[in-house]
A and B are shown apart, each in its own frame.
Chain A
Amino acid sequence: MSSGRGGGGGRGGGGGDRARVRAFGLRTRLLLAFLLVAAVSAGTTAALTYREARNSLLETAQDTAVTSFRDHVQQTGFSLPVQEEGLEEVLRDIARKGKPHPWVVFAEYGSLRASSGENPVSTVITPELRRAARAKPHGSFERVVKDGVPYLTIAMPTVFKASPDSLLPSGLVLYAVMRMTDEQVNVDALLMAGRDGALPGLAVSLIPGLIAARSVLRPVRKLREAARNMGSGRLDTRIPVRGSDELADLAHTFNESAGQLECSVRELREAEERARRFASDVSHELRTPLAGMLAVTEVLDEDADGLDADTARAVRLVSAETGKLAVLVEDLMEISRFDARAAELNADEVDVAEAIRKTLDNRHWTDDRIRTELPDGIRARLDPRRFDVVIANLVGNALRHGGAPVTVRLRTEARSPGPPVLITDVADSGPGIRPEALPHIFDRFYKADAARTRSAGSGLGLAITLENVKLHGGTIHAGNRPGGGAVFAVEIPLHSEDAEGEGAGG
């Protein structure tokens, strides 16, 4: 009983753990994974699209600007050496033709600096561009961000044709500085569009996520239910296999294993059933010859006195052992009826104290070896024959293996959950039961005393007692009293049917 309660507590704790795991259960994890995948793919797509779109936007603007700047520079004739006067006018002329956006044109020629704007020198043009301008006669460009404003800077050296296939720099380098604000606005809009598209997409992806989780979880739930059914003994439980995915494979495997398990269990049960039937058949077959033998033991006993000493001893031995054999076979029959669950409880309303007194009287246990504490008026629904076996076995056992005086005490006790119980204690005054023998005391043919190969009983007495108590829905405990001596306590639930039975006359 106590171990059962402990197990229950352990299961409760396990439930708590499971609830905690359930918070991050399969459904949550599936949804999170789905969201993560959707977020990563949406993010990556948006990022790539953004980069490509941005580049192509900027490149178009750049190409237009560079080509147009180059054309303008080439179309403008510069007289060499460059004169400072008139240069600004030329630069302003080029600046007016800025494409796609207006630009500011700067010119550098030796130490000469000029521009179409107010400052003759730009703060945006970098030394790298200046170096590139000298290296590349076809011009070069650079994107610069200054104070948060994006600029395109183009450097275009003016050249003259020295021969049909060689160009010589004239030393005059023109620079165009163009603000790219419009492009930035476009790119920002692109970014916004990407974000605005990805977030609802992500939210929408929750729905297929939920559906997918459901479609995965439904078979999992079915599997769980099926496994629970199997655990509770319904071995014919099978799962319907739908589709051909991994879950269907799992269901298929489950069904196969369940089939094998069912088969093994059936074989085991059949073997057990055969063994049980064999024991029952053997005892049954033994009964008929024993019935004949037992009927004539009396004749043997009576006539043994007239025989010579050896024959008389032999005859008495046969007679005595026949009696023991009959008891043993009877007990075996009884046990096999319990094993086959064929034992019936023929319950009757009895006065328990009276029943116990009759048991003791019938066995002639009426001397001072037996002490009783049997309060009158306790009525219970018992199988009188089985209860008689229980009490007779316990008292007989106490007298044989324990020691007189044996005390039989009857009482009732209220139990907070469930009905009150009838408790019958049988205590002896012997040395008690060895602790290592206690767990086995109700085993069949268990000998508590190894030196004693055969006891007066069949070796099945306590096993039959236990079965009889269990048939009443009760329990039996064996233990030792602190003062010495073994005590067996039988607890049988009291079902109060008196109230409804009282008025039901006729």
Chain B
Amino acid sequence: MPRVLLIEDDPSVREGVELGLRRRGHEVRAAATGEAGLAAMAEFRPDLLLLDLMLPGMNGVQVCRQVREQSQLPIIMLTARGDDFDVVIGLEAGADDYIVKPARPEVIEARIRAVLRRLDDSGPGRPAIVVYGELTVDRVGLTVTKAGRPLALAPSELKLLLHLSAAPEQVFSRQQLLEHVWGHSFHADARLVDACVARLRGKIEDEVGSPRYVQTLRGFGYRFGPL
């Protein structure tokens, strides 16, 4: 069962979520502040970070950025507001997904599973290592290099790239990507896709303004290539 680090300042939410997840078999470490959470990271070695956005002191977005500087740990934000630009900022800072509070443990667990799930697209006959231009994608080792230099991709970014590059030049709608990459229902927030594409482009494209690998098809969605 995955080890979950929960950073949440409100005691009742912290205790409730911790209890709910622990009952489902997760090993949970709870921290009340961002600083305490970051401190617990090295010792606890979590598989996933469950991060409240509104924290006293260091806020969730700052925690997110700091974690991303050194690791590609899956991050799910907990947000008390659904439509706010906090979500967008959190996603830009590198979070992989978000959950709107209040949420039942089964919903939280489903999101955790989806984020941790490996893309099962290494079908028979598909070569493990494919080269696209300067990009080299290792579908088994799950690494991506650009001109020989390894790229640090967050889980959602890696999965998005694997999914798009598995079918070059095929257009995927944002709703399809939400379904296949994020494991969301059809009607989830398409900003997840846009933010992830923006982050991915920042890492793999030479010029973010005129992307070569992940291209936009206005009104329809995204596609990989043509190079």
Q: A296-B20, A346-B190, A385-B188 are in contact. Are A287 and B102 (CB under 8 A)?
A: yes
Instruction: Assess the A384–B186 pair: CB atoms within 8 A.
Output: yes
Instruction: Assess the A349–B80 pair: CB atoms within 8 A.
Output: no
- Which of A381, A388, A506 neighbours the largest number of chain B CB atoms within 10 Å of its CB? A506
8 A Cβ contacts from B127-162 to A: none
Determine the chain B residues whose CB is within 8 A of the CB of A284 once the complex forms: 80-81
Q: A348-B174, A505-B215 are in contact. Are A299 and B187 (CB under 8 A)?
A: no
8 A Cβ contacts from B1-25 to A: 10-17, 19-20, 23
Please list the 7 inter-chain residue pairs (A to B) with the smallest Cβ-Cβ separation, ordered nearest first: A501-B219, A292-B12, A295-B16, A292-B16, A358-B186, A291-B102, A388-B187
The residue of chain B having its C-beta at the shortest distance from the C-beta of A290 within the complex is B102
Instruction: Assess the A355–B186 pair: CB atoms within 8 A.
Output: yes
B186 contact from A344, A362, A505, Cβ within 8 A: A362
Q: What 0/1 pattern do residues 293 to 323 of A give for CB contact below 8 A with B? A: 1111111001000000000000000000001
Instruction: Assess the B83–A343 pair: CB atoms within 8 A.
Output: yes
Once A and B bind, how many residue pairs between them come within 8 Å at the CB atom? 127
8 A Cβ contacts from B175-220 to A: 175, 185-191, 210-212, 215-220
The residue of chain B having its C-beta at the shortest distance from the C-beta of A284 within the complex is B80
Answer yes or no: A451 CB below 8 A from chain B CBs. no
Majority-rule SS of A interface residues = helix
Q: A294-B104, A333-B82, A498-B219 are in contact. Are A384 and B187 (CB under 8 A)?
A: yes
Q: How far is the CA of A497 from the CA of B217 in the complex (A)?
A: 12
Answer yes or no: A359 CB below 8 A from chain B CBs. yes
Determine the chain B residues whose CB is within 8 A of the CB of A497 once the complex forms: 218-219
A502 contact from B105, B210, B219, Cβ within 8 A: B219
Answer yes or no: B173 CB below 8 A from chain A CBs. yes
Instruction: Assess the B12–A288 pair: CB atoms within 8 A.
Output: yes
Q: How far is the CB of B111 from chain A (nearest CB, A)?
A: 14
Instruction: Assess the B187–A355 pair: CB atoms within 8 A.
Output: yes
Determine the chain A residues whose CB is within 8 A of the CB of B220 once the complex forms: 349, 501
Determine the chain A residues whose CB is within 8 A of the CB of B118 once the complex forms: none
Answer yes or no: B42 CB below 8 A from chain A CBs. no
Instruction: Assess the B185–A296 pair: CB atoms within 8 A.
Output: no
Q: What 0/1 pattern do residues 7 to 24 of A give for CB contact below 8 A with B? A: 000000000000000000
Q: How far is the CB of B42 from chain A (nearest CB, A)?
A: 27
Q: How far is the CB of A475 from chain B (nearest CB, A)?
A: 22
Instruction: Assess the A287–B80 pair: CB atoms within 8 A.
Output: yes
The residue of chain B having its C-beta at the shortest distance from the C-beta of A391 within the complex is B187
Instruction: Assess the B189–A295 pair: CB atoms within 8 A.
Output: no
Answer yes or no: B106 CB below 8 A from chain A CBs. yes
Instruction: Assess the A506–B16 pair: CB atoms within 8 A.
Output: no
Determine the chain B residues whose CB is within 8 A of the CB of A297 once the complex forms: 104
B13 contact from A292, A302, A362, Cβ within 8 A: A292
Q: What 0/1 pattern do residues 317 to 355 of A give for CB contact below 8 A with B? A: 000000100100110010001000011101011100011
Answer yes or no: A450 CB below 8 A from chain B CBs. no
Instruction: Assess the A291–B104 pair: CB atoms within 8 A.
Output: no
Answer yes or no: A377 CB below 8 A from chain B CBs. no
Q: How far is the CA of A329 from the CA of B12 in the complex (A)?
A: 17
Determine the chain B residues whose CB is within 8 A of the CB of A362 once the complex forms: 185-187
- Which of B13, B210, B216 neighbours the largest number of chain A CB atoms within 10 Å of its CB? B13
Q: A298-B20, A348-B175 are in contact. Are A287 and B101 (CB under 8 A)?
A: yes
Answer yes or no: A289 CB below 8 A from chain B CBs. yes
Determine the chain B residues whose CB is within 8 A of the CB of A80 once the complex forms: none
Determine the chain A residues whose CB is within 8 A of the CB of B14 once the complex forms: 292
Q: How far is the CA of A506 from the CA of B13 in the complex (A)?
A: 44
The residue of chain B having its C-beta at the shortest distance from the C-beta of A343 within the complex is B83
Q: What are 10 A-B interface contacts by the 8 Å CB criterion?
A: A288-B13, A292-B10, A298-B20, A299-B20, A342-B83, A350-B175, A358-B186, A385-B188, A501-B218, A506-B212
Chain A interface extent, by class: 35 or more
- Which of B188, B191, B219 neighbours the largest number of chain A CB atoms within 10 Å of its CB? B219
The residue of chain A having its C-beta at the shortest distance from the C-beta of B212 within the complex is A506
Q: How far is the CB of A300 from chain B (nearest CB, A)?
A: 11
- Which of A288, A498, A500, A501 neighbours the largest number of chain B CB atoms within 10 Å of its CB? A288
The residue of chain A having its C-beta at the shortest distance from the C-beta of B22 within the complex is A299
- 15 additional A-B residue pairs with CB within 8 Å, beyond A292-B12, A297-B104: A284-B80, A291-B12, A295-B17, A346-B190, A348-B190, A349-B220, A350-B175, A354-B186, A355-B187, A358-B186, A381-B219, A385-B187, A387-B187, A504-B216, A506-B211
Instruction: Assess the B187–A358 pair: CB atoms within 8 A.
Output: yes
Instruction: Assess the B23–A299 pair: CB atoms within 8 A.
Output: yes
- Which of A292, A299, A388 neighbours the largest number of chain B CB atoms within 10 Å of its CB? A292
Determine the chain B residues whose CB is within 8 A of the CB of A505 once the complex forms: 215-217, 223
Instruction: Assess the A291–B217 pair: CB atoms within 8 A.
Output: no
Q: How far is the CA of A289 from the CA of B10 in the complex (A)?
A: 9
Determine the chain A residues whose CB is within 8 A of the CB of B81 once the complex forms: 284
Determine the chain B residues whose CB is within 8 A of the CB of A354 once the complex forms: 186
Determine the chain B residues whose CB is within 8 A of the CB of A288 once the complex forms: 10, 12-13, 80, 101
Q: A288-B10, A294-B16 are in contact. Are A326 and B189 (CB under 8 A)?
A: no
Instruction: Assess the B23–A384 pair: CB atoms within 8 A.
Output: no
Instruction: Assess the A501–B19 pair: CB atoms within 8 A.
Output: no
Q: A294-B102, A384-B186 are in contact. Are A501 and B16 (CB under 8 A)?
A: no
The residue of chain A having its C-beta at the shortest distance from the C-beta of B106 within the complex is A298
Determine the chain A residues whose CB is within 8 A of the CB of B19 once the complex forms: 295-296, 299
Q: How far is the CA of A350 from the CA of B215 in the complex (A)?
A: 18
Q: How far is the CB of A472 from chain B (nearest CB, A)?
A: 14
Instruction: Assess the A291–B23 pair: CB atoms within 8 A.
Output: no
Q: How far is the CB of B88 from chain A (nearest CB, A)?
A: 10
Instruction: Assess the A295–B215 pair: CB atoms within 8 A.
Output: no
Determine the chain B residues whose CB is within 8 A of the CB of A287 once the complex forms: 80, 101-102
Q: A359-B187, A504-B217, A505-B217 are in contact. Are A302 and B175 (CB under 8 A)?
A: no
Q: What 0/1 pattern do residues 475 to 506 of A give for CB contact below 8 A with B? A: 00000000000000000000001101110111
B104 contact from A292, A295, A506, Cβ within 8 A: A295
Q: How far is the CA of A388 from the CA of B178 in the complex (A)?
A: 15
Q: How far is the CA of A506 from the CA of B216 in the complex (A)?
A: 5
Instruction: Assess the B103–A294 pair: CB atoms within 8 A.
Output: yes
8 A Cβ contacts from A148-204 to B: none
